[in-house]
Amino acid sequence: MAWVGFNESVVGDGAVTYFANNTAVRLKSTLTTSGNRAFLAYEVRATPGITVEVTFSARITENADGGNAPRFIIDWPSGQSPVTSTALSGEWQEYRLSYTVPFTSNPDGGDFVRCAFGVFTSNSGEVEFTRPLFSTKFSEAPSVRIVESGSSGGDSWVRFSDGTQIVRGKVTISPVANEATDAIFTYPVPFSSPPIVVATTEAKSAVVTRPAMLSSTPTTTQCVINIIRTNTTSTTNHVTAHGFWL
């Protein structure tokens, strides 16, 4: 009887035989025809940060080509993307494999962990497995720490171990009355890609008819800020840029 939750992939002369007590399975295939295979696969949702652990016993009873033997493979983020695998012995032996899903995993976008075992298209032989036992546990999120910080001319920056970078500074604009007037703010350190920029105007009086705003898309090295004011008084504007340095 097939195991619930496991998907069979049998092509050509591949064969799957379940033992009478349903606790073990025999898988066999040869390389006589391209594409022959016989393996089982079990998929686990690739939740970011979980560790998938699988325990099983197995033995190879026949390896016809003497080379690419049957094996157990863990794939992520999809099938055919091995991240870990193990060769198997000719004697019964217990095995334990694990894989921690990266925090960048996107299970809603189709990422999954696939545990597959048997005789694959590039393998040949016969192998017996006990029914694998699966467990999952959450790993702690990696700690984020400051790796660099500094200041230059009153502007400052902080870089974090996860690649985040925050820049803060000021830019003074001497406006033309009642016209949008630009000023360039150059970051004290560059970003690896254009950051998100927020600008605020220090002046609170009614003469500032439009506070600081971006007048163009920020680049990795600078942004352009402008304001509109009814007079020509120099105006200080605060800028915060949030992005990545890695």
Asked if domains 7-138 and 146-244 share a fold, the reply is: no
Task: Going residue by residue through the chain, which has 246 residues, state the pLDDT in tens, using 9 for 90 and above.
Answer: 788 889 999 988 889 999 988 888 888 887 666 678 899 999 999 988 889 999 999 999 887 555 567 889 999 988 778 888 888 888 999 999 999 988 888 888 888 999 999 988 877 889 999 999 999 888 666 677 888 999 988 899 999 888 899 999 999 999 999 999 999 999 999 999 999 999 989 876 777 888 888 888 999 999 999 999 999 999 999 999 999 987
CA nearest to 124, candidates 27, 28, 17, 30? 30
Domain made up of 7-138: CATH architecture = Sandwich (2.60)
φ, ψ for residue 104, nearest 5 deg: -85, 0
CA separation for the pair 170, 117 (Å, rounded): 60
**Hey, where are the domains in the chain?**
7-138, 146-244
CA separation for the pair 189, 137 (Å, rounded): 40
CA separation for the pair 226, 210 (Å, rounded): 9
Q: What is the CATH number of domain 146-244?
A: 2.60.40.3940
Pair 156, 150: CB distance under 8 Å: yes
- Output the six-digit token pair for 93: 């032996």
| DSSP, res 144 | P
The number of angstroms, rounded, from the C-alpha of 240 to the middle of its chain's C-alpha atoms is 27
Q: Which residues pair with 244 in a beta bridge?
A: 164
